[in-house]
Structure 1
């Protein structure tokens, strides 16, 4: 059964490259076709890729509008299509690894930097990720507040943090304008975007196989 990895979509070509890299890494681990689809901005959209029985795995870090409304609407009433939960907090281990790669040290105060959303449920997902990561606070680069730079400055002033380094963990999947804005946030360490991390690929594959197993049990 085909695996469709659904991404948000971006106008930044670097983001599209990461999407293709993730899909290619997934493809190397399965013997079924793997295709990329986008919920917005880029083509092909989910509607055009879901052309038969398949499992759609949203590579989204929170369950906002696109995951809850847009992708299901694009799938419509097609038979044999299973939509899994989004990547979400399953990406936390990869983010933790990116932090270490960036030079995180034990004792650093961590701020999780997310894109933001107007959906309170998506923001709740981000908060859950922050707690799992042990972050001191969450900042946003778009759509929600407080902004990352303001949070970094506030965390530095907290009792017990003064004199310690502040590390920003990027809760962003790919490079682009959002991640570039973190260069000026005032943190001592900023991790790279999550990208095609092996732990992300493993998480997407787990969701695919769980969906297939569910189909088998219900047949």
Structure 2
């Protein structure tokens, strides 16, 4: 089995390294070749990474926390190009039970206290499917924490005015709560995580990255024998 892990892409070297480390962790668990590609910012693209792979089918795992534009539009476009071998595309990393549990654990380890106001900080999108996904994650996380969870974006969109910037959400919640904790609905460090860390919150969780549950989810997707439609 050949596995291709597809991520967004970032200019931050730590973010790029994390995707490579995730692929390496999958490789160790699966005992299979796991390659890496990116849909934006840097290469190789999925079609470039798959060039010359031969006729055997490849399992493509989208390293995204939601089913937004990159998963539903960009990835199929790359995989449909001439010369790309047959692929089986799995579901994305999230939304999933593993992502919810990892978010709660990251918050706990960062120092979140009972009674803290909680913000679920996503990257940001104008895509309605992404909005549905992040809202479902916020609702599930609220059940786990036993506290309300508000959604905010690291990069707010004018097309989604219902989601404030993380710093604005923190400032507003600060007026009603003594402390504010931010759950990072991000996979890797980079510009967006830096914005969360500068949001003024008392607690900012680390990106989900190499959390054992995220590695577990990625490997489970790679092993899955039933394709999931994008």
Q: Deviations over 1:91-129 (max 9, x none)?
A: 222121111111112222210011101111111111111
Is the CA contact (8 Å cut-off) linking 1:170 and 1:194 kept in structure 2?
yes
Q: CA RMSD in A?
A: 1.6
Displacement, 1:156?
3.1
1:100 to 99, 103, 108: 108
Deviates more, 1:63-72 or 1:46-55: 46-55
The aligned residue for residue 126 of structure 1 is 134
Deviates more, 1:98-107 or 1:78-87: 78-87
Aligned ranges for residues 57-68 of structure 1 at < 5 Å? 57-68=61-72
TM-score (norm 1): 0.89
Deviates more, 1:180-189 or 1:67-76: 180-189
The aligned residue for residue 89 of structure 1 is 95
Q: Deviations over 1:60-108 (max 9, x none)?
A: 0111111001111111175531011111122222121111111112222
User: Matches of 2:114 and 2:156 in 1, distance apart?
Assistant: 31
Aligned ranges for residues 21-40 of structure 1 at < 5 Å? 21-40=21-40
The aligned residue for residue 214 of structure 1 is 226
Displacement, 1:21?
0.8
User: Matches of 1:175 and 1:79 in 2, distance apart?
Assistant: 32
1:201 to 215, 218, 222: 215
Displaced runs of 4+ in structure 1, greater than 6 A? none
Q: Which blocks of at least 5 consecutive residues in structure 2 are unaligned?
A: 143-147, 158-162
Helix, strand or coil at the partner of 1:29: helix
User: Matches of 2:201 and 2:66 in 1, distance apart?
Assistant: 24
Q: Which blocks of at least 5 consecutive residues in structure 1 are unaligned?
A: none
User: Matches of 1:43 and 1:177 in 2, distance apart?
Assistant: 19
Helix, strand or coil at the partner of 1:41: coil
Displacement, 1:157?
3.6
